Amino acid sequence: MFPEEKNPRIERVAHELRATGVKPEAANPLRSGIHTRGYLPHVKREGARYFVTFRLADSLPKEALLKYQAERAERLHRFHAAATGANRTGARARVETVEDIERDYFRKLEAYLDKGAGECSLKQPELAAVVADALRFFNGQRYRLDVWVVMPNHVHLVLWPMPNHTLSKIAQSLKRHIAREANRILGRTGQGFWQPEAYDHWIRNDEEHARCCRYVENNPVKARLCVAPEDWPWSSAGRGRAAAAAAP
């Protein structure tokens, strides 16, 4: 069961934003602040870099996602209950942190994705090329694309939105264009291509940025799709190979 009280994740992120000078209740939270499309809070900060994940519609069944979300919610509920009790009694704080819980949740989702759940439509070179071309098309205009990878059933990227462009609009535009082209190639109509909600993470500092970039380009290796990052054609690490493969 999900906790009925106010979402502790949103409250935690709101406190973190206030500590760094960002008002969570900003007039336009899509630019700077916090907003949510359900249980998952999305943090936006003007001038920030982001780690983003798009998942195919059939890559993570609803029952699996709800299972992982319920496990995370229960751990968060226990954590906050213990923290409240420790504050009242002056007892020593627990070793587990919210970051540990979030990291475990993300790792479970990634492990599930890397098993190759669903049809894995993006393993088709023609569809992978559609994604790669779309990601690179507005690089330097709407955003600066640091690294990216097209996996069989999901896409990771690290980017920095250019001034006057929000991450939400960028993600919406990319997903819409790719879905339209992919469904045309697949001969599908009336079927969703992506899961509705993308995952995005505000990158706090250079160390975290480097870690996210390494993760993205090493994802095919971790999933045992290749031996080295540069061997995977559909990524920033293997972009030379991808360009060659896409050439007539």
Q: What is the pLDDT of residues 119-169, one digit of tens each?
A: 999 999 999 999 999 999 999 999 999 999 999 999 999 999 999 899 999
Into how many domains does the chain fold?
2
Buried b or exposed e, range 151-178, using 16+ CB within 10 angstroms: bbbbbbbbbbbeeebbbbebbeebbebb
- Residues 55, 151 share a domain: yes
119-131 burial: b if 16+ Cβ within 10 Å, else e? ebbbeeeebbbbb
pLDDT at 11: 52
Q: pTM of whole model > 0.75?
A: no
In a domain, 39, yes or no: no
Residues of the chain with pLDDT under 50: 1-10, 12-21, 27-44, 244, 247-248
At 181 the pLDDT is 96
- Assess whether 157 and 141 both reside in one domain: yes
> Do 132 and 241 sit in the same domain of this protein?
yes
Same domain membership, residue 218 and residue 103: no
Within a domain: 40 = no
Q: Per the domain annotation, does 128 fall within a domain?
A: yes
Residue 25 lies in a domain: no
Examine the domain organization and report whether 89 and 187 are in the same domain. Answer: no
Same domain, 158 and 103: no
137/76 same-domain check? no
Residue 87 maps to a domain: yes
Q: Is there a single domain that holds both residue 150 and residue 189?
A: yes
Where does 24-116 have alpha helices with state H?
62-89, 98-114
* DSSP track, 106-155: HHHHHHHHHTT-S--GGGSHHHHHHHHHHHHHTBTTTEEEEEEEE-SSEE
Looking at the fold, whether 66 and 135 belong to one and the same domain comes out as no
Task: Look at residue 183 in the predicted model and tell me its pLDDT.
Answer: 95
Q: Does residue 16 lie in a domain region?
A: no
Same domain, 55 and 75: no
- Identify the domain containing residue 84 by its residue range: 62-108
Are 126 and 198 contained in the same domain? yes
| 18, part of any domain | no
CATH code, domain with 181: 3.30.70.1290
68 and 51 share one domain: no
- The answer as to whether 208 is a domain residue is yes
State the pLDDT at residue 44: 43
